Amino acid sequence: MWNEEKDQNRWKMKFILPEHNEALRQLHLAKHKIERPTLSPEQIEEFEYTIATAMSEDLSLNFELFDQGFTRELTGKVVFVDHVRKEFRIKNDRGDTNFIRFADILNVKTA
């Protein structure tokens, strides 16, 4: 037991180089990354219905998005659907406009 504590203390650094700190941060991020989930056609159809209903009734939506191996959430109203670029324009409560690609949506529900 004592040797175990001694080994752990030996590796605790009082001073860490910026390069080491960045490497540790990247390692931590890599451990928590996820693969892009594959959605079924039924899920996509359900998302389309939810979005169309929210647009017609001027409701806010909660989007769960895939963002470079991580998930993030965004809440706002869909103000425009760009079928050419395959993205939505979402206006949040602060008035900021966010662009969301169709392929990045993991889940949609009313706020």
14-62 tens-digit pLDDT: 667 778 778 887 777 777 788 888 999 999 999 999 999 999 999 999 9
Q: What pLDDT does residue 4 have? A: 58
Q: Is the pTM of this model over 0.75?
A: no
Give the sheet arrangement for strand 61-67, strand by strand: 97-101, 87-91, 70-82, 61-67, 105-110
pLDDT score of 29: 72
Residue 22: its pLDDT value, please?
83
The predicted pLDDT at position 84 comes to 95
pLDDT at res. 104: 94
Q: How far apart are CA 5 and CA 2, in angstroms?
A: 5
41-110 folds as SH3 type barrels. (2.30.30)
Residue 100 has pLDDT above 90, yes or no: yes
Would you place residue 111 in the very low, low, confident or very high pLDDT band (cuts 50, 70, 90)?
confident
Q: Quote the CA–CA distance of 15 and 98 in Å, as a whole number.
A: 40
Intervals of CATH 2.30.30.520 along the chain: 41-110
Amino acid 7: pLDDT: 57
